[in-house]
Amino acid sequence: MKELLNELTNELEGKSIEEQLSFLSNRFPGKVVFSSSLGQEDQVITEIIGVNKIAVNIFTIDTGRLFPELYELTDKTRNRYKIKMDVFFPNNEDVENLVNEKGFTSFYESVENRVECCNIRKVKPLNRALQGAKVWITGLRGEQSLNRSSMQLLEWEEGRQLYKFNPLINWSYNDVLAYIEKNDVPYNPLHNKGFISIGCSPCTRAIEKGEDPRSGRWWWETSKKECGLHK
């Protein structure tokens, strides 16, 4: 597996993101998926896929606790690029059991409770969405967090048995903003109000100037600020 990973990485390096995505979609036809949270990074990748009509399956996860602006952006993005974007939801029995046992806001009480909620609302739907895929495209950037700073352009995920492709891993936040402005990419208006990293509405706040971009996520915690999607 390491030998093939190195071979694929060598093929990707030096290519544009459009060329990288086209290469992977041709190498693994019908098995390349992109998980979009409709954040600014993800909108950049969606623009590249949509404009160039690259054969990548796009999906998003509706946790049931999202900002209304995100739903509006989802429809706007679908219409703009004439693309299909599948939506995956958490299992209703899992959510019902969690809320009935611990209430609607148990995630504020402990890191363990918060991780449990993220697992039910995000990780389990993601795992369903990735079934059968060989390449998982993400919008991760290395400077977003310490955990992400060590991630590579292409990685092998042993647990999910697929390749994880991070085309923006070496981009800066300014690179993302410049691309959005240049190409008039639609984005969530909450970004203009200090919401840099946007998750579920009860777990996300705007940040002040100079604060770490991830400080607005689960702000009451001192954890590593990850939900479990990208361990």
Which H/E stretch holds residue 204?
Answer: none
175-182: which pairs have CB atoms within 8 A and are 24 or more residues apart? Answer: 176/40, 176/41, 176/44, 176/141, 177/40, 179/44, 179/47, 180/40, 180/43, 180/44
What backbone torsions phi and psi does residue 135 show, to the nearest 5 degrees?
-135, 130
Q: In this structure, are residues 230 and 148 in contact, taking their beta carbons and an 8 Å threshold?
A: yes
What is the spatial distance between Cα 66 and Cα 69, in angstroms, rounded to a whole number? 8
User: Residue 155, exposed/middle/buried by CB under 10 A (0-12, 13-18, 19+)?
Assistant: middle
What count of residues does the chain have? 231
The runs of H, that is alpha helices, within the chain are 2-12, 17-27, 40-52, 68-81, 92-102, 111-118, 124-129, 146-149, 173-183
What is the spatial distance between Cα 119 and Cα 140, in angstroms, rounded to a whole number? 19
Query: Which amino acids are annotated catalytic?
Result: 227
